[in-house]
């Protein structure tokens, strides 16, 4: 992203399922709202039409043939393209207009998720290629948690488990996150996500606050 003092910051949260991205994105949004007039909390898959389709695919609801006993897995390259399409639409309809108006944007997941998850089944160069027009966030917070801890959290709060939420898969996703952190470009800060919600919130704030020093600063500590 270009550095213009009047525009808002684009902050993204990443991590394996159960890492706490949704919780911490919401808490950071709350903190920023106390400091700035406006702040947008958003997510990927987005709440736009492509994002809604993706959520149905992930939860298995679009595998219509399951009922007939011949479940055909949704093609993973098609899914990778849907994530990239959702991202373009999300950027154009929500993220970029907000940033241009000086609004701080916090997104629960973004580009690094595509690299970590879609390169499980698709060539990583191709995944990068289909996402090449996605601008890098000002900062990405990567929440690191052990896979067993993440699975425990998911089991405690979910009635249905998404297609990516299996132990071996999450281990590969965690390794991909490590690998792509240095490759993706833009600033990525790794934050230990194993502590209490409040401890992680403070660690996130410590990572974000230097970027806010040329804006209105003061909340969160
Ligand atoms: P998640 O963010 O956990 O949302 P919810 O809390 O509603 O389940 O789920 C989104 C899933 O989508 C998660 O498993 C990661 C995956 N994902 C990708 O595979 N690629 C992407 O580009 C994005 C944004 C998400």
- pLDDT exceeds 90 at position 142: yes
Tens digit of each residue's pLDDT (9 = 90 or more) over 162-218: 667 688 999 999 999 999 998 888 899 999 999 999 999 999 999 999 998 766 544
For residue 109 and ligand 1, the question of a CB distance below 6 A is answered with: yes
- Measure the CA–CA gap between 186 and 80, rounded to whole angstroms: 21
Starting at the edge strand found earlier in the chain, the sheet holding 39-43 runs: 39-43, 104-108, 10-14, 139-144, 188-192
Mutual orientation of helices 21-35 and 197-208 as an angle, nearest 10°?
Answer: 60
* Model pTM score: 0.91
Average pLDDT score, the chain: 89
Residue 165 Cα: closest atom of ligand 1: 14
| Ligand 1 touching residue 74 (CB < 6 A) | no
How far is CA 68 from each of CA 41, 63, 71, 135, rounded to the nearest angstrom?
40, 10, 8, 42
Query: Ligand 1: does its nearest atom lie under 6 Å from the Cβ of 117?
Result: yes
The alpha carbon of 150 and the centre of ligand 1 are apart by a number of angstroms equal to 14
């Amino acid at each position: 992203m270009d550095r213009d003092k009047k525009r808002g910051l684009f902050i993204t949260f990443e991590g394996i399922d159960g890492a706490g991205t949704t919780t911490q994105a919401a808490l950071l949004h709350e903190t920023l709202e106390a400091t700035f007039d406006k702040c947008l909390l958003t997510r990927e898959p987005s709440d736009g039409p492509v994002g809604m389709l993706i959520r149905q695919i992930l939860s298995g609801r679009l595998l219509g043939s399951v009922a007939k006993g011949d479940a055909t897995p949704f093609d993973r390259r098609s899914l990778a393209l849907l994530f990239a399409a959702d991202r373009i639409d999300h950027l154009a309809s929500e993220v970029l207009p907000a940033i241009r108006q000086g609004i701080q944007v916090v997104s629960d997941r973004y580009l690094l998720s595509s690299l970590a998850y879609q390169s499980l089944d698709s060539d990583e160069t191709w995944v990068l290629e289909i996402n090449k027009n996605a601008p890098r966030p000002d900062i990405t917070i990567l929440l690191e948690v052990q896979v067993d801890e993440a699975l425990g959290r998911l089991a405690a709060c979910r009635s249905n488990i998404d297609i990516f939420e299996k132990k071996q898969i999450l281990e590969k996703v965690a390794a991909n996150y490590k690998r792509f952190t240095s490759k993706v470009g833009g600033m990525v800060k790794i934050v230990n996500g194993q502590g209490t919600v409040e401890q992680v919130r403070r660690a996130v704030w410590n990572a974000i606050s230097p970027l806010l020093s040329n804006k209105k600063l003061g909340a969160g500590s």
